[in-house]
Structure 1
Amino acid sequence: MSCLGICKSISTDSRVTFETSLTAAEFGKDRESFLGELTSKMGDATSLPTITEIERVWYEIMREMKATGEVVKFNTSVINVDGTSVDCEVVRVGVYNAVCGNKYLEYVPTKGQYQFLARQPASRYTSSAGRVSNADASSGYVSFSIDPSGPSGGLTCKPNSKPSLLERIDQGGIIGYIILAIGGITLVFRRL
């Protein structure tokens, strides 16, 4: 494979990775724009990338690799569940999770922002999010629940998609309430 093909492949793969990475809200869309322009330039096959462009690709890949091992606090705008934006001090734990206070966040690539999960995980996880949000450099180690599936948040979101008992009862509608009422009446008469 030629230098042009390798550079194009690396630029394309990196751009796709950066677009969905939790670091994108912190680092901005500039690196994706650069890689997109570089890829299209190499797609024309009229010129090779310059040394400066190759160094920038290397720099962006190294910056992303470094970010996977960092716990960073920064202020940014976060989308609420109702669609409004709020300024928040976000703590990004590698490329695994981002939290604001005791709430987990997900990254929305189309908006280039974090947003609060519609349903937060169980309290044992949100309390660990609160601990990491309130920690500082002198705190030492803080236990925290991470989602190793990364920015897609698959494991963080999956348990939250199950309806609660009250939501299940409500899903049954009027028929569900009638069945519960008959069951309750039967239980009362059975006790007598």
Structure 2
Amino acid sequence: MLSYRHLYRSIALFILSQVSLAGLVSYSYATDQLVNKAVQQQKQESRHNDQREAGFKQTEKSLKATRNTLANEKIKLQQQIDSLSAQFSDNESQLSHLEEKLRLETGSLGEVFGVVRQNAKNLQSYINRSITQADRHQYSPAVEAIVAAKTLPSLPQLHGLWQSFAEQIRASEEISRIRVPFIDHSGEKHQVEAVRLGAFGLVTSQGYVAWEPHKQVVMSYLKQPEDGPVLGQISGLLSGQTQVVRIDPSKGALLAQLANVPDLMDRVKSGGVVGYIILTILAIGLLIALVRGTILLVIRQKIKAQLRHPETPGNNPLGRILGVYDQEKHRNVEALELRLLEAVMDEQVHLEKGLSMLKLLAALAPMLGLLGTVTGMIETFQVITQFGNGDPKVMAGGISMALVTTVLGLISAMPMLLAHNILSSQAESIRMILEKQGIAIVATQAEKDIVAETRAQVA
């Protein structure tokens, strides 16, 4: 039993010894592999480090070379800066010396240059606005050169300035025929003949024309002055003949303002609807006055003729009254007087026909004018509410309507009132004649009745 146990232990020890030996062998092999691998990695790192060290040395060498180059350039630039600074100081000193020398040499020429340049600017502005630019601008380049100059003008430039002054003076007194580009109302441009009246105006076959200096063309004014000259009327001036011509002393400003001056139709249009109503009332009133005045004049002539021949009553107011007497003379005086009074009143109605309407229209016209005034002021205040009162032109429409309707109302009322007064006086005069004749007829009839009664009493 013990021997087996001893055997088993011996076997187990042997097996353990074999296993330990195998582990040692395996461990030794793994250790050798790791050592070899570590040696190889160390060799690779050593080679890599050598390469990096070589690169670093090459970069260091390149940077040192660049630093040396930049240091050399810095030295050169510093030398240039020192040279330029010295040159700048010399230039400043020389410039100061030259400025002082220029100031001493020029003296008062600087003030002369200022005066010359200012006069050149004034002359250039005059030439650009004047109609003499159309044909008298030979020396304008010399004037423009002086205006644009920054230094003292030369003698040729001063001579050109003097020649330009002389040219404009001569042009202001010339009457010359020229050809100018003309733009008509359709926008087409063509050449036309014109007469230049000094520096005051250009006259073509259409009258005065406006010179546009920026476009170098002429255009017609919107409105020509009354008795304004045309090309055919002033041809005698070119031959030296004496002729009276209307000119614009403002050189076109007054002619341009003529377009803003309203004529009669423009003023009537500014009155609006109320203005047209007032004019319609005036036309109706004048027509009534004309018709009634003609009728009363004819009646008056017929009455005068009837007074010369009372024995033959005609177709007129007095004749009809005489006809009433012929028909009613058998009646007594009281009845005859009433009949004649009735006839006179009937004739009075015919004589005064239309006069009440004329009086009504005369009273209505100023009331309509007042209505137009109120309407215009309402419109003006509405415009002020919308746009303010900064621009008077915005309010001009309403104010114009207010004033024009007032004027139209007064102008319409005055002739109608005058006509009504004249026609009423004529009708009253005719009525007085009729009443006088009627009273005379009644008096004559009363005398006849008294004579007849006296004879009857005597008999």
Aligned to 1:120: 224
* 8 A Cα contact 1:12 1:39, kept in partner: yes
The structural deviation recorded for 1:135 is 3.0
CA distance in 1, matches of 2:178, 2:276: 48
Q: 1:137 to 1:110 in 2, by over 3 A?
A: closer
**Structure 2 letter corresponding to 1:171:** S
Task: Tell whether the 8 Å contact from 1:103 to 1:130 is kept in structure 2 after alignment.
Answer: no
Deviations 1:73-98 (A, max 9, x none): 01111222444323211100111121
Structure 1 distance, partners of 2:239, 2:138, is 32
State how far apart, in whole Å, the 2-side matches of 1:157 and 1:130 are.
Answer: 23
Question: Are 1:180 and 2:279 matched, yes or no?
Answer: yes
Return the offset for 1:104. 0.6
Q: 1:28-177 residue pairs with structure 2 within 5 A? A: 31=140, 34-42=142-150, 47-122=151-226, 124-126=227-229, 130-132=232-234, 134-135=235-236, 137-138=238-239, 140-149=241-250, 151=251, 153-159=252-258, 161-177=260-276
- Partners of 2:241 and 2:272 lie apart in 1 by 51
- Quick check: which one's strand share is greater? 1
Asked if 2 retains the 8 angstrom alpha-carbon contact of 1:120 and 1:126, the reply is no
Residue 15 (str. 1) matches residue 114 (str. 2): no
Whole-Å Cα distance in 2 between the matches of residues 30 and 174 of structure 1?
59
CA contact (8 A) 1:73 1:91 kept: yes
Amino acid at match of 2:148: S
- Choose which of 23, 27, 48 in structure 1 pairs with 2:136: 27
Structure 1 residues 170 and 115: CA distance shift in structure 2, 3 A: same
Residue 189 of structure 1: how far off its partner (Å):
3.5
* 1:188–1:29 distance in 2 versus 1, CA, 3 Å: farther
Q: Structure 1 stretches of 5 or more lacking a match?
A: none
With 104-113 and 9-18 compared, the bigger mean Cα shift is at 104-113
Structure with higher Rg: it is: 2
| Normalised TM-score (structure 1) | 0.80
Higher relative contact order (CA 8 A, sep 6+): 1
Displacement after TM superposition at 1:102 (Å): 4.7
Asked if the contact 1:121/1:157 (under 8 Å) is kept, the reply is no
Asked whether the 8 Å contact 1:98–1:105 carries over to 2, the reply is: yes
Relative to structure 1, is the Cα distance of residues 5 and 108 closer, same or farther in structure 2, using a 3 angstrom cutoff? same
Distance verdict in 2 for CA 1:137–1:109, change over 3 Å = closer
SS in 2 for 1:38: helix
Larger mean Cα displacement after TM superposition, 100-109 or 13-22: 100-109
User: Partner amino acid for 2:200?
Assistant: Y
| CA-CA distance at 1:111 after TM superposition | 1.8
SS in 2 for 1:147: coil
Alignment partner of 1:27: what SS?
coil
Distance across 2 between alignment mates of 1:39 and 1:154? 27
SS state at 1:18 partner: helix
Find the aligned partners of 1:19 and 1:173 in 2 and give their Cα distance: 43
Cα–Cα, structure 1 residues 135 and 104, in superposed 2: closer, same or farther, change >3 Å? same
> After superposition, what is the alpha-carbon deviation per residue over 1:168-188, rounded to whole angstroms, capped at 9, x for unaligned?
223333332222112222333
Q: What is the DSSP-based 3-state SS (H/G/I as helix, E as strand, rest coil) of the residue aligned with 1:110?
A: coil
Q: Quote the Cα distance in structure 1 between the aligned partners of 2:188 and 2:270.
A: 28
Q: Could you tell me which amino acid in structure 2 is paired with residue 19 of structure 1?
A: N
RMSD: 2.5
Percent identity, aligned pairs only? 23
Deviation, 1:51, is: 1.2
For the 8 Å contact 1:131–1:144, the answer to whether it is kept is: no
Q: Which stretch of the first structure deviates more once superposed, 22-31 or 99-108?
A: 22-31
Once residues 67 and 178 of structure 1 are traced to their aligned partners in structure 2, the CA distance between those partners, rounded to angstroms, is 55
Contact map agreement 2:177 2:195 (CA 8 A) in 1: yes
Ranges in structure 2 where 5+ consecutive residues have no aligned partner: 1-109, 293-459
Q: CA deviation at 1:3?
A: 2.1
- Contact 1:121/1:160 (CA < 8 Å) preserved in 2? no
Q: C-alpha distance in 1, partners of 2:289/2:282?
A: 10
* Partner-residue secondary structure (3-state), 1:35: helix
TM-score, scaled relative to structure 2: 0.36
Please tell me whether the aligned partners of residues 143 and 164 of structure 2 are also in contact (alpha carbons under 8 angstroms).
no
Give the 3-state SS of the residue equivalent to 2:222 in structure 1.
Answer: coil
